[in-house]
Structure formats: structure tokens, C-alpha cells
Structure 1
Amino acid sequence: MPSVNNAQEPHADPPQRNRRRAIVLSVLGVLLLVLAAGSWYVYRGLTVPVQQEAPTVEVQVSAGQSVRSVAAELHSRGLIRSARLLEWYARVTGQTGNIQSGYYALSAADSARSILQRLTSGAVIDRSLVVTFPEGWTIQQISERLDARGIVEQQQFAQNAVMQQGYRDLEVLGDLQDEQDLQGYLFPDSYRFEPDSNARSVVRRMVNRLAQNLPHEWQQTLAEQGRTLHEVLTLASIVQAEALEDDVSEVAGVFWNRLRSGWRLESDATVNFALGTSKRQPTFADTYVEHPYNTYRFAGLPPGPIGNPGREAIEASLDPPDSDYFFFLHKNNGDIVLSRTFSEHLAAKARYLD
């Protein structure tokens, strides 16, 4: 056993080693603090909403918009804490290409991660508007309603509601020449459009709706009759303007008989179209206006439709009923009175209207 006198004290660490240990511990401490702070920054930035309560705001994401641009927009609107953090998170999770275009209702009370989830799942809001065009409406009336609803500017629609090369693939427009207006070919119906829609796409939808509502085998029927679709739509537009709800077929029969017999149609609706008026009974002087659409002056059909007819008027004009009536009038209660001769018509007028 060594003697007490021979025992040695442990060697003390050199000062340099102590300094190294202190530095290492300090660095580790700093790294831990940075890691903790970074973790809190990421956690807070992705999972903690900017506000506890906040209203929703509408945000548009355009087709092809980058995740960086989207994140910057969200940050500028006060919806997320950090644009860079959201962009980084989208990249590391492989979601940069999954963001879908559209309009979103987002809130600062939602976390950044939940907002990104909505953007990638396509949880868009429906901003579409339902707009209805009554049967017989003209291009002018349609364009005014589209403009009033914020769907298409009136001038833009009018400029695109004419035949052009971009519509040559639409079979029902085959009778038209370039720059000829599409009056009669814009089917009156209820549609759902997005605000600020493309004018040409709106026109195409309305023309396609016409094609969908034409009677089955309409082309064969026209070929057998020796008529064109343009002629049928022109007649249908007059029938639409002259008939009431329950007598479309009867009115079509009267005008068809007049056409086949070479008579003037003598339609008040065509006079109103020529003059830009809406009189129930044009004056005698009105019927003498020199205008190609005035069917009191010119026999046969006018150059084109005076409005956009509905399905019933089109079907009645494509296949009119057999009858021997050449005149009609409406009583004050709306009932139709049909006559075979002019003398019968005058008698009916004296009895029911004068």
C-alpha cells in the first residue's frame, strides 16, 4: 500500500481545455436556443392563426400563379405571418404544384397550414351568377343585362355577337357570313356565368344551347322542305314576338300560310323592330316606313331574325300545323281569333277590338 507521502494530487485540467469545453457548451446552448426558437417560429407561423377572430376575405388565385406570389398575396392581406415560411412549407411538403386557381374565402383566424390545405384542395367559392334571358329578347337587351350583372361589358358582347372565323366550328351558324350578327342564334334560357366572363365564351355557350334545343333531325326536315335554318329562325323570331303563350302554333301556321302563298306577312313586330319601338298597334304611317324588315312593305321574310326565339316558337316554325287561316288577332283578354279571309278578319276586329 503506497504511503501517504507518496500519494499524488489529481492533475487539474489545463486552462485551454476548460475554455474549449465552455465554448462547446456555449455553442450547443446557442444551437438549442436557435432550434427551439426556430421550432417555435415554424410552429407558430404554420399552426397559430394571426388572429383569434377575423372576417373572411375573398382572395383570387390565378391559373399558373406561383406559390411565392400566392404566399406574398396572403401575407399582404394579413392572412398569414410569413410568406417565406408558407412557401418553404409548400415546397418541402411537395405542394407547390397543387394550388388550384379560383376564388377563396379565407380568414386570418385560420392557420397558414389550413389555408394552404384549402388552396390545394380547390375549396373555391362559387361566384357564378344565374342570369335569365326571356324568349324573344334581342342582342341589345341581352348585352344590357350581361353588363348590368357584371358578366360581360355591353360593347364587348355586341362586338362578339357577330359571325367570325372563331365560330366556324359551330354547325348551326353555317348559313351566316362573316360580320353578320347572331340575332336569332343566342338561345334564350337561364345560364350560370362567372363575373367578368370572356364575351366570346358567353356567345359560344348561347349558340351551343340553341343547337341542343333544336328538334331532332332538324337538318333532314329542312332539306325536305328546301328551307334553311336561318329562314326558320327568322320566322320563329316573328312568331315569338306576335304570339302569346298558348297560341304559338296557331300564329306560326298563319305566317307559314302567308309565306307559301306569296303574301306579305304584315307583322306589327317587324315594324316595331324597324322603327326601334314597341307599340302594340303601329300606326298606318308606321307600316309604310321604308325598311327591309317592314313586312307590310315587302313580301317574304325579312333579312334575318328580329329577336332570339325560344324552343316552342322554333319547333312551330320548323313544322307548322296544317290550317287554312291567314289572319289572326288577340282579344283584350289575350284569346286568339283566327280568320280565313280579310272580311272575316275585319269583322273580328270590329267585334273584339274597335
Structure 2
Amino acid sequence: MLRMELEEPGGFRGENVSMPQNKFHFEDKKRKFLLFIITIFIALYAINYFLFSAPFEHPRGTKFTISSGMTISEAGEYLKKHDIIRSPIAFKALVYIIGGRSGVIAGSYFIENPVSVARIAMMVTTNGYGIKMYKVTIPEGLSNKQIGDLLEKNLDNFDKAKFLKLAKDKEGYLFPDSYFFEPDSTPEKVIQMMNDNFKERIKLINIDLAFFNKPLKDVIIMASILEEEARTENTRRMIADILWRRIEKGMPLQVDASFVYLLGKGSAELTLDELKMDSPYNTYKYKGLPPGPITNPGLASILAATKPLRNKYWFYLSDKEGNMHYAVTFEEHKANKAKYID
């Protein structure tokens, strides 16, 4: 009897040792499960917060514009700044998922009520809810007047006279490109878009400009001449070298391109009296560069102005087929003129 009594307490002691361990194991599983549930809840909340709900400050009945040339990252920062989305990172990821690497579609968009970043990403990659836009392509080498004519033709009730007045000091700095304009775009908005585009594009060649070490104004004026004087990269660079050297030597540039700007006439149409007209843009009469750009050059001509191709020539002309002929002396130049033009 005594042995049985001793064994029973021993057995009970063994059971008392194992029960707390089982309980601890159960509690640990319970805590992990609760942690998992909380993590899932937080993740779902975060997904809903960043992807499917609009910011509290999201404006109602608002219009936003994705500018031409704007990158996905720039568009995300712009939308975040205007309280249209919360997360530029989420926006960028969704744009890639929805539209691949095609990027965002330039244009203006209207939002009546606050929408999620997912909806915004869908809009700017498919042009959904986009306001009807007019695509206008501005070729390289157009003057402000020619740009005004093009805009007046393509936009509703466009005020060309006001455009020319406001853009007077922007000649050469309205970047040629394809733009998407709203039907009722004002001259102020058009000028801002084109000038902002110029500022962004010129950043691409900042190193070249710095290395060339001439004022930006002089480079743009030279580039505006090159747009009229040549059509290929090689000839632009050749002519750039000739003209920069003529300026250094104190020789007049004697380019006919400025008369297209002044009179709307090409070389073949000019009279001797017109070549003598008194204007600071007459490069036959006045030495150095004209006082301002005569066209709005593209990036290729701007770059050519900073990368002159060294050569021995001082004169050049273009024949009726557009081929360029160079000369070292004035006598050679006159011979080329007689052979290829007269």
C-alpha cells in the first residue's frame, strides 16, 4: 500500500510538469496566428490606402495636365504635389503594370470626384476621361510668325496677334515638337508649354554648352541660322565653323537666312536693293550675329552650333538640289556661284 501511494504522487508530478509545456506551445501558436491576422489586416489596409482610396485633400472637379515629354516619375511627383495621389512609387508601379514602358499620355484630364491612384494610372496610360486635345506638330526652324499661323489654323479662336506680341522675346526659345493643346488654349499657355519644353530639352546638352563656353544666347542665334542654312548634321557643323570663324575674323556673315525672317524671301528671290536694306538683321551690312534668333531651332542645330567641324573654307553656297559647295577664296566662291546657281 505504501509503494502505491508513493507511485501515485510520482505519476501526478510527471503530469504536472508536461501540462505547462503544452499550454505554452498552444499560446505561442495563438500569438503567431494573431500576428499573421494583424499583418494581413495592415497589408490590406495599406493596399487600400495607397492604391484604392484617394487622398483626403483630393480636389473635386479638378483638371490636371500631363505635359509633353514628362516622364512617369515626373508625372507621379506632379500628381502627388497637387494631392491627386498619395504615393508616386505606387503610381509608377501601376503605370508600368497597365501600360508597360510606353509611359504616360500627354494631355489634360478631368476628375469630377476623388479617385484612386489605380484609376489615375489607368487614365493617363489609356487617355481615359481625357479632355479632347488637338495635336499640333511644330517643325524645327519655324519663326514665331510661322508658329502663330500654324496655331491659328489648328486651334479654335486662337489669338495669333496676342501670341506674337507675348512671344516676341521668346523667339528661338519655343521648342519645336509635337504638342497636345486644349481647343481653347490661350497664347500664354502655349508659350509657357513650348518654353518650358525648351528649358527641359536644353538640359540634355548642358555639358556641351559648358564646354563650348559661349553665351547661350549666341548659341541659339547661331543655331537659328543653321536651321535655315543647312539640312544635315555634317553641313550644319561645317557651316557653324565657317560662321564662328568669320565672326572672330571680323568678317560679315553674309547669310541669306536672315532675309527669310525679315522679308519672307529666299536667296533666289532677293534683289540687290534688298541686300542693302538697313536692318541689324542684315548680315551683309552689319558684322557679327543678328540681335536675336531668326527661327526656333531644334536640338540637333543647337548641338551643331556647339560642335563646329573644323575646315579650311570661308565661303559656301547651296545649289538648286540642296547640295553644298565650299570655297576657300572669294574668287572660288564666285566660280561656284556661276557654276551651280547662275
The within-5 A match list for 1:68-87 is none
State the match for 2:73 in structure 1. Answer: none
Q: Does 1:244 align with 2:231?
A: yes
- 1:277 aligns with one of 265, 270, 274: 265
Alpha-carbon distance between aligned partners in 2 of 1:339 and 1:147, rounded to the nearest angstrom: 43
Report deviation, 1:309.
0.9
State the match for 2:141 in structure 1. Answer: 136
Range with bigger deviation, 250-259 or 304-313:
250-259
SS in 2 for 1:148: helix
SS in 2 for 1:280: helix
Is the contact between residue 264 and residue 295 of structure 1 (CA under 8 Å) also seen in structure 2? yes
- 1:148 aligns with one of 149, 153, 169: 153
Alpha-carbon distance between aligned partners in 1 of 2:200 and 2:244, rounded to the nearest angstrom: 24
Q: Does 1:340 align with 2:328?
A: yes
Q: Does 1:127 align with 2:140?
A: no
Distance 1:149 1:62, change over 3 A: farther
Report deviation, 1:219.
4.8
- 2:221 aligns with one of 234, 252, 265: 234
Alpha-carbon distance between aligned partners in 2 of 1:309 and 1:250, rounded to the nearest angstrom: 17
- The one-letter code matched in structure 2 to 1:99 is E
Aligned-pair identity (%):
33
Alpha-carbon distance between aligned partners in 2 of 1:144 and 1:308, rounded to the nearest angstrom: 14
Q: Which consecutive unaligned segments of at least 5 residues does structure 1 have?
A: 1-60, 65-97, 102-117, 163-180
State the match for 2:304 in structure 1. Answer: 316
- The one-letter code matched in structure 1 to 2:339 is R
Report deviation, 1:278.
3.8
Partner deviation per Cα, 1:218-266 (whole Å, 9 max, x = no partner):
45235xx3x2111111111111111123522222222122112111000
State the match for 2:165 in structure 1. Answer: 159
Range with bigger deviation, 230-239 or 198-207:
198-207
State the match for 1:44 in structure 2. Answer: none
State the match for 1:352 in structure 2. Answer: 340
| Higher relative helix content | 2
Report deviation, 1:211.
2.3
Alpha-carbon distance between aligned partners in 2 of 1:338 and 1:271, rounded to the nearest angstrom: 21
State the match for 1:200 in structure 2. Answer: 188
Distance 1:100 1:326, change over 3 A: farther
Is the contact between residue 139 and residue 183 of structure 1 (CA under 8 Å) also seen in structure 2? yes
State the match for 1:220 in structure 2. Answer: 210
Partner deviation per Cα, 1:191-219 (whole Å, 9 max, x = no partner):
11111123223212211222233213245
Is the contact between residue 248 and residue 312 of structure 1 (CA under 8 Å) also seen in structure 2? no
Partner deviation per Cα, 1:116-138 (whole Å, 9 max, x = no partner):
xx9xxx95244111111111111
Alpha-carbon distance between aligned partners in 1 of 2:269 and 2:326, rounded to the nearest angstrom: 18
Is the contact between residue 239 and residue 252 of structure 1 (CA under 8 Å) also seen in structure 2? yes
Q: Does 1:255 align with 2:243?
A: yes
Q: Which consecutive unaligned segments of at least 5 residues does structure 2 have?
A: 1-59, 64-110, 115-122
Is the contact between residue 256 and residue 266 of structure 2 (CA under 8 Å) also seen in structure 1? no
SS in 2 for 1:315: helix
SS in 1 for 2:326: strand
- The one-letter code matched in structure 2 to 1:254 is I
Is the contact between residue 258 and residue 264 of structure 1 (CA under 8 Å) also seen in structure 2? yes
SS in 1 for 2:268: coil
Report deviation, 1:279.
4.6
State the match for 1:70 in structure 2. Answer: none
Alpha-carbon distance between aligned partners in 2 of 1:352 and 1:335, rounded to the nearest angstrom: 9
- The one-letter code matched in structure 1 to 2:143 is T
RMSD of the TM alignment (CA)?
2.5
Distance 1:220 1:279, change over 3 A: closer
SS in 2 for 1:263: coil
The within-5 A match list for 1:297-316 is 297-316=285-304
Is the contact between residue 139 and residue 307 of structure 1 (CA under 8 Å) also seen in structure 2? yes
SS in 1 for 2:291: coil
- The one-letter code matched in structure 1 to 2:270 is P
- 1:99 aligns with one of 100, 105, 112: 112
- The one-letter code matched in structure 1 to 2:279 is H
- Normalised by the size of structure 2, how large is the TM-score? 0.59
- The one-letter code matched in structure 1 to 2:160 is Q
Range with bigger deviation, 271-280 or 140-149:
271-280
In terms of Rg, which structure is larger? 1
- The one-letter code matched in structure 1 to 2:138 is F
Partner deviation per Cα, 1:53-83 (whole Å, 9 max, x = no partner):
xxxxxxxx9649xxxxxxxxxxxxxxxxxxx
Alpha-carbon distance between aligned partners in 1 of 2:304 and 2:283, rounded to the nearest angstrom: 20
